[in-house]
Amino acid sequence: MLFDGFALTTRTVNGVSYRCCLGGSGALLVLLHGRPETHAMWHKIAPALAAHYTVLCPDLHPERTLAQQADDLLGLADSLGHESLILAGQDYGARVACEVAGLEPSRVKALILLEALPGPDHTGRDDMAFSLTQYESCWFGQLHPKPEANAVQVPAEWLDDPVSEDSFFSPEAVKDYLSAPVWRSSTPFSWPASRPDLHCPVLVLWGEKGRIGGWYNPVVPWQEVSTGKVTGQALSGEHFLPEEAPQETLAAVQDFLASTL
């Protein structure tokens, strides 16, 4: 069973319903999922965090703007009786977390950003090799029928039935990812042109086998947009760190919060 001790609930704010997992007690820690997942991506680490924090894991609404979602999340915090909050976000969730921090900086006490960069600045990297690292370009740069067969926006193993026993993805979580309507909107997604303006402590985590650490020292771009202290480290894994390396991710988050709050 995923999220042992949590309640799966629906909360409405600003006229929008958010499906959430909620558990624990203490300061509010909001965990925001990335693409193409749901709140279920946090199931391996959320219960341990709930021993010390009120942990809220909502499904995001990508069809709403970042500003709208940020306002919604602050409304969810209000509904739980919390003035201040801590935010952790992976990929797309990290950008939403930054939007919250920019909207109400006095309320956000810390940010934990996984597999994310502050903006789409790839100056000096837009050559053929860089372009072919993008998911769609990687496949469409190959001969037919490879592109058509592989241009799928989910990991291929999610489509296995059943999910392989040696996969780090939980079959129950994968079922949620594929059945939830989070990413089914026809509204195209694009990263905002503006870069965040952060003022709280920031922890940056990235996969040592992934692309972000190969392109950058990921701490540096975040230091450029933050007046608060920025620390970071690489973890085993490629992109889905809370599922690929849950114990490392949990330890990094716990150490950061213990030294920050």
> Which residues constitute the domain of residue 189?
7-120+170-260
Q: Which token pair is 225?
A: 């947009």
Residue 192 pLDDT grade (very low, low, confident, very high; cuts 50, 70, 90): low
Q: What is the pLDDT of residues 120-169, one digit of tens each?
A: 555 555 555 555 555 455 555 555 544 444 444 677 777 777 888 889 99
Q: For residue 180, is it within any domain?
A: yes
CB pairs under 8 A, 24+ apart, for 121-128?
121/195, 121/221, 122/215, 125/215
Q: Is 146 helix (H, G, I), strand (E, B) or coil?
A: helix
In terms of pTM, does the model score above 0.85? yes
Structural domain total, the chain: 1
Mean pLDDT value across residues 110-116: 96
Span between the terminal Cα atoms of the chain, in Å: 31
The one-letter code for the residue type at 5 is G
Cβ–Cβ under 8 Å, residues 258 and 123: no
H or E stretch at 34: none
Digit-coded pLDDT (tens) for 5-39: 999 999 999 999 999 999 999 999 999 999 999 99
Q: Is residue 160 part of a domain?
A: no
Mean pLDDT of 183-196: 69
Task: Mark residue 124 as left, alpha or beta (left: phi above 0; alpha: psi -120 to 50; beta: remaining).
Answer: left
**Is residue 37 in a domain?**
yes
Is 177 within the bounds of a domain? yes
Rounded-to-integer distance, Cα 109 and Cα 232, Å: 17
Q: In whole angstroms, give the CA distance from residue 88 to residue 103.
A: 16
Helical spans, DSSP H, in 80-141: 92-103, 128-131, 135-140
Mean pLDDT of 84-101: 96
Report the alpha-carbon angle 179-92-152, nearest 5: 50
Question: What's the confidence (pLDDT) of residue 253?
Answer: 98
> To which residue do tokens 């940020």 refer?
70
In-domain check, residue 83 = yes
In this predicted structure, what is the pLDDT of residue 161? 77
Poorest-pLDDT segment among 51-55, 83-87, 118-122, 227-231: 118-122
d(CA 189, CA 91): 13
CA angle (146 as vertex; 116, 183 as ends), nearest 5: 40
Q: Is the pLDDT of residue 258 over 90?
A: yes
For residue 143, the tally of other CB atoms under 10 A from its CB is 6
Amino acid in position 147: P
Residue 165 lies in a domain: no
In order of 84, 100, 105, 198, 225, the CA distances from 110 in angstroms are: 10, 11, 10, 10, 14
Q: Quick count: other Cβ atoms within 10 Å of Cβ 79?
A: 12
Looking at residue 251, what is its pLDDT? 98
Handedness of CA 116, 120, 121, 127 (dihedral sign): positive
pLDDT of residue 96: 95
pLDDT digits (tens, 9 = 90+) for 207-223: 999 888 887 889 999 99
Q: Cβ distance 82 to 115 under 8 Å?
A: no
Average pLDDT of the chain is 87
- What does DSSP say about strands 108-114 and 54-58: parallel, antiparallel, or unpaired? unpaired
With pLDDT > 70 as the criterion, what percentage of the chain qualifies? Answer: 84
Residue 12 located in a structural domain: yes
- Classify residue 200: in a domain, yes or no: yes
Domain CATH code at residue 185: 3.40.50.1820
- For the chain, give the percent of residues with pLDDT over 90: 67
